[in-house]
Structure 1
Amino acid sequence: MQKVVREIEMTGRTVDEAVTLACESLGVERDDVEIEIIDLPKKGFFGLKNTPAKVKVTHKASKSQLAVDYVTEVLGHMGLTNVKIDVKEEEESATLVLEGEGLGLIIGRRGETLDALQYLAGLVANRGEGSYFRITLDSGNYREKREKTLEQLALKIANTAVKTGRSTTLEPMNPYERRIIHSAVQQVEGATSSSIGEEPNRRVVISSKNPRPPRYNNNRDRGPRTDRGGDRGGRGGYNKRPYNKEGRPPRRDNRDGRPPRENRTVTPDPNKVRANPPKEAEGAPLFGKITLDD
């Protein structure tokens, strides 16, 4: 069990005052520290040049205890005062398991709040000297559930990558979750994984070791299309009639050899009934009087 030793020297009008100020500065209780008196208070002649008391206060605590104290303080500010913290300590790491009501607030969306608090607790635990001490924060067995979910996701995507030859980029994850993904992908033969990007947006890419070549559009390799319809232009062909200066296609003669309609000379047909009456009939009634003989 790694210990963190913190020391502080403090002065006061009395020894008791100096010790109290030192404990407040360290954020610990008086029963948890060692006290060494450096100087006792002294009074000068006629109350002049008084010498204050000086003490040295030493606090020894495990790194896990520092993390527990910090998490307890944060939970108190969040209004969660009835939370129990169970510590599972090992040689170079410790897991702090939170138990109580209202801990959904601590977990947050996809464990983001829990991860942030775990990161800060780790910083507090490693402020002293010594090797790195890993702090893991868990609540409601969330870590185990999340680990199983990530393993299933990684196996599914890895198998798909092997079958299709396509790569898949996952959402940003913290280093702990990325390690779970990498470990699960290694179980699938023919699949591989790598990380891209920078923190906190670093992602895992799952792909196949033998990716398939990309598909090409066969129409691009056939060259230019030809006009299937001859001079008349095939359906969808490129050999279309040119346009004139007005932006319209030129008119062609009819198939019987006659010129276009606007260029024809119309000759009246004498056999046809005139549409307009002659001048001598102007003003006459449309029908004449009909008399019948007896």
Structure 2
Amino acid sequence: MLREAIATGATVEEAKEAACKELGVESFDDHVEFEILEMSSKKVFGLFGGRPAKVKVTIKKSVMQSTEEYIKNIITHMGLNDITVTTAEKDNIITIDIEGEDVGFIIGRRGDTLDALQSLACLVANRIDSSYKRVVINTGDYREKREKTLEALGRRLAIKAAKTGRKSSLEPMNPYERRIIHTAVQKINGATSWSEGENMNRHVVIGPDGKSRENNRGRGGRRNNYGRRNGKPKKAAPAPNPDRKPLNEGGEVGLYGRIDK
């Protein structure tokens, strides 16, 4: 994101100061660049010719700074006070942490507002230059708590599907949250998951694994009316299988990373 101004002055230094004043920055700022367009020249005999110096001043902000400024601007227009925004960047990942008393408004229902804010910040960050940046916005440890909640939900519904043979449909989620559910389900023997719906209505469905049920057919005696084999106790819930490969493994996937399932 570049901002620039061109100013003139009797000397190059005066032209620099005039351009910086127009932009509202100091000439010694690290993000200020100068380009001398014309050098000043004196009048001949004090009467003819002569010209002022002309300088172009450019403010070149980093992607991280521009993204942080954008987020702060949105928070200000939301009418929220006493909000602290801390930004850091590592390995092309910009992390923005928001703290304050009114962070509940920023999180929204099940994180919808936080996700929308993150999506917009990602668009801003990747319009500045050609390098791709991933943006992660968090407030406190909300993301971590949400991830644990989704993992527990995925395991619980996977065990239910394996025991009852029935499927369950979850609420619409973004790709990142769907991946958490898929990963949790695929660690439970006898259950599987897939996504249905389009765009904002795309959601995860958890059901019994047809392959596992096919392999279990014909083992043991007939089942009575209560779903038990004659003379045998009811089958226990399937235990987690740490050796089973989760769906869509293959490195870190951001909140809006691609999910093919």
Q: State TM-score, norm by structure 2.
A: 0.66
Q: Indicate yes or no: 2:205 matched with 1:187.
A: no
User: What code does the residue aligned with 2:37 have?
Assistant: I
Q: Which residue in 1 is equivalent to 2:76?
A: 76
* Greater relative contact order structure (CA < 8 Å, 6+ sep): 2
TM-superposition CA deviations, 1:89-134 (whole Å, max 9, x none):
3212132111121111111111111111111111122222243211
Could you tell me whether the CA contact under 8 Å between 1:39 and 1:53 is conserved in 2? yes
Structure 1: which 4+ aligned runs deviate by more than 6 Å?
Answer: 41-44
Q: Which residue of 2 aligns with 1:53?
A: 54
Report the RMSD for the aligned CA atoms in angstroms. Answer: 3.2
Alignment of 1:238-257 (within 5 A): none
Q: 1:55 to 1:153 in 2, by over 3 A?
A: same
SS in 1 for 2:189: coil
- Asked whether 1:10 is paired with 2:5, we answer yes
Change (3 A) 1:60 1:77: closer
Secondary structure in structure 2 of the residue aligned to 1:200: helix
Amino acid at match of 2:203: R
Q: Match of 1:87?
A: 87
Alignment of 1:31-180 (within 5 A): 31=29, 32-39=31-38, 53-61=54-62, 63-180=63-180
Distance 1:47 1:135, change over 3 A: farther
CA shift, 1:54, in A, is 4.5
TM-fit CA distance, 1:34: 1.8
Secondary structure, counterpart of 2:176 in structure 1: helix
What is the CA-CA distance between 1:154 and the residue it aligns to?
A: 0.8
* Equivalent position SS for 1:97: strand
| Percent identical | 46
Name the larger-Rg structure: 1
Letter in 2 for 1:157: L
Q: Secondary structure at the match of 2:80?
A: coil
Deviation at 1:181, TM superposition (A): 0.9
Change (3 A) 1:8 1:159: same
Distance 1:125 1:107 in 2: 21
Distance 1:177 1:165 in 2: 24
Q: How many residues align?
A: 202
- What is the rounded CA distance, in whole Å, between the counterparts of 1:42 and 1:188 in structure 2? 80
Separation (CA, whole Å) in 2 of partners of 1:185 and 1:155:
6
Deviation at 1:177, TM superposition (A): 0.9
Q: TM-score, normalised by structure 1?
A: 0.59
SS in 1 for 2:33: strand
Aligned match of 1:257: none
CA 143–47 in structure 1, closer or farther in 2 if over 3 Å, else same:
farther
Deviations 1:172-212 (A, max 9, x none): 11111111111111111122111122212211111211288
The 3 A distance-change label for structure 1 pair 79 and 157 is same
Distance 1:35 1:166, change over 3 A: same
**SS at the partner of 2:188?**
coil
